[in-house]
Amino acid sequence: MNKQIIGFLLVCLTITGFVSCSSSSFDDIVANRRSVRSYDKSKKISEEQIRTLIATSQEAPSWANVQATRYYVVMSEEKLNQVLPAMLQNKEKASMAPVLIVTTYKQNQSGFFNGEPSNEIGNGWGAFDAGLSNAFLVLKAKEMGFDTLIMGLRDADGIKRALDIPNDETVMSVVALGYGNQVPKRPERKSLFEIMKIK
């Protein structure tokens, strides 16, 4: 079999999913994901890429599968300029990213049955589920070649006004998304002896 035929077969197998072009394992993605605070704003991200990213985030587990997390994707210059003043100390970092994703959760869904909290955590389960979704989001972003920064310092009321977010949703975080201008060093992690107990 000549090289052209072999090459053609490899392309076909790759397209159909039998051979993966990606050499990145899950461990590689986790190890290389960083909080990036500087972006190349000239490099754009398409709506189709955003849809792929959010679809993966939807696969995160949620309480009773209520999927209470919501995503407000800010891509236009007009909306970015409206959201930036609400980013407080993160304004400069946020202004460098071509996309901001505001994540919220609908109140009284995760952790609730028949309108009542199922345990003492209450709406904390909504925050927990949103955190899981954000984790899926930033890892998928890394797999797609993007960098991210999850920002918690923000004026939630200002963001709600800018994006017409309903009152029954709680703003969790704003995720900067883009192509990083830097490769931050990996911060030291605590030893397992400090964070884990096996009994």
Per-residue pLDDT of 51-108, as tens digits, reads 999 999 999 999 999 999 999 999 999 999 999 999 999 999 999 999 999 999 999 9
| pLDDT in the model for residue 17 | 44
pLDDT at residue number 2? 52
Higher pLDDT, 152 or 10: 152
Task: Write down the pTM of the prediction.
Answer: 0.85
- Is the pLDDT confidence value at 175 over 50? yes
Answer for the pair 154, 174: CB distance below 8 angstroms, yes or no. yes
Q: What are the pLDDT digits (tens) for 6-62? A: 444 344 434 434 434 445 799 999 988 999 999 998 999 999 999 999 999 999 999
Which CATH number applies to 33-184: 3.40.50.2000, 3.40.50.300, 3.40.109.10, 2.40.340.10? 3.40.109.10
Task: From residue 36, give the alpha-carbon distance in Å to each of 33, 63, 81, 109, 154.
Answer: 9, 30, 21, 32, 17
In the chain, residues under CATH classification 3.40.109.10 are: 33-184
**What is the maximum span of the chain, computed from C-alpha positions, in angstroms?**
68
